[in-house]
């Protein structure tokens, strides 16, 4: 995949890897505001934003991970599943190339990219230590929660494209499954990478201690509740 953004630390090898997946009809470069905020907060991280492998079938110069033409609840899962193996191979190769392991990898995405990020860690638990899912959703609510990945969900409360109810339901399900997840909702915000949600992503990365870390320290299975913040 072509990298629209590949920002490496000014000095030394990267200590973290942050991969950002764009939405349908967009490009990796459209995630520059989020990428820049993450780069400023984590200067020793490698921040990458690839362009999706397929041209957007709606026209223009944008790209898509999978087609949304005629997409339904019945066929969405199949379309996403077809993309995941290639994305997984690319992510593993990128981790190897940059010398950053899965635990120090954050996989983020907006809209269609968020869908892929969430489904990737369901299919391969622990391939990334964190997910930053903006304005996304699960294809279907999971039957099991990742044990080695923390899921951070961010949504505009007035999103007309992917309703915030998807993220609320996801948090509820992940909590019932003893998963490690947080949710931030910006009321009045639509389908966009709003600065308020970017700020909350930085806060979560800096301040949320993964449940698995607590469990390792205590020698126990984590039973921490998922977190939600509506603002």
Question: Looking at the annotation, which residues are catalytic?
Answer: 111, 159, 191
pLDDT at residue number 173: 97
Structure-token pair, residue 45: 């991280």
Q: Which pTM value belongs to this model?
A: 0.91
Cβ 99 vs Cβ 55: under 8 Å: no
d(CA 113, CA 142): 18
Half-sphere exposure of 20 (CA within 13 A, CB side): 30
pLDDT in tens, 159-216: 999 999 999 999 999 999 999 999 999 999 999 999 999 999 999 999 987 867 655 6
pLDDT in tens, 106-115: 999 999 999 9
Domain boundaries, the chain: 3-230
Candidates 170, 182, 175, 83; CA nearest to 131 is 182
CATH architecture of 3-230: 3-Layer(aba) Sandwich (3.40)
pLDDT in tens, 37-94: 999 999 999 999 999 999 999 888 899 999 999 888 889 999 999 999 999 999 999 9
Cβ 149 vs Cβ 132: under 8 Å: no
225 band by pLDDT with thresholds 50, 70 and 90:
very low
d(CA 144, CA 178): 9
pLDDT at residue number 59: 83
Check whether 31 has a pLDDT greater than 80: yes
Per-residue H/E/C for the chain = CCEEEEECCCCCCCCEEEEEECCCCECHHHHHHHHHHHHHHCCCEEEEEECCCEECCCCCCCEECCCCCCCCCCCHHHHHHHHHHHHHHHHHHHHHHHCCCHHHEEEEEECHHHHHHHHHHHHCCCCCCEEEEECCCCCCCCCCCCCCCEEEEEEECCCCCCCCHHHHHHHHHHHHCCCCEEEEEECCCCCCCCHHHHHHHHHHHHHCCCHHHHHHHHCCCCCCCCEEEEC
What is the distance of C-alpha 150 from the center of its chain? Answer: 10
């Amino acid at each position: 995949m072509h990298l629209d953004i590949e920002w490496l630390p000014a000095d030394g090898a990267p200590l973290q890897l942050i991969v950002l997946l764009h939405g349908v009809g967009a490009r990796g470069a459209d995630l520059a505001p989020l990428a820049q905020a993450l780069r400023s907060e984590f200067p020793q991280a490698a921040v990458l934003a690839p362009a999706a492998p397929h041209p957007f079938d709606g026209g223009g110069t944008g790209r898509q991970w999978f087609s949304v033409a005629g997409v339904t609840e019945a066929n969405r899962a199949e379309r996403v599943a077809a993309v995941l193996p290639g994305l997984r191979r690319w992510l593993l190769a990128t981790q190897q190339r940059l010398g950053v392991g899965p635990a120090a990898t954050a996989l983020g995405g907006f809209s269609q990219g968020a869908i892929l990020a969430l489904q990737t860690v369901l299919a391969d638990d622990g391939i990334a230590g964190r997910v930053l899912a903006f304005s996304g959703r699960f294809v279907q609510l999971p039957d099991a929660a990742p044990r080695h990945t923390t899921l951070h969900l961010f949504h505009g409360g007035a999103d007309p494209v992917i309703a915030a109810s998807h993220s609320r339901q996801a948090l509820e399900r992940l909590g019932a499954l003893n998963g490690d997840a947080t949710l931030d909702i910006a009321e009045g915000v639509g389908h966009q990478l709003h600065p308020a949600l970017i700020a909350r992503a930085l806060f979560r990365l800096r301040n949320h201690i993964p449940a698995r870390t607590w469990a390792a320290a205590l020698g126990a299975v984590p039973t921490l509740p998922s977190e939600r913040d509506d603002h």
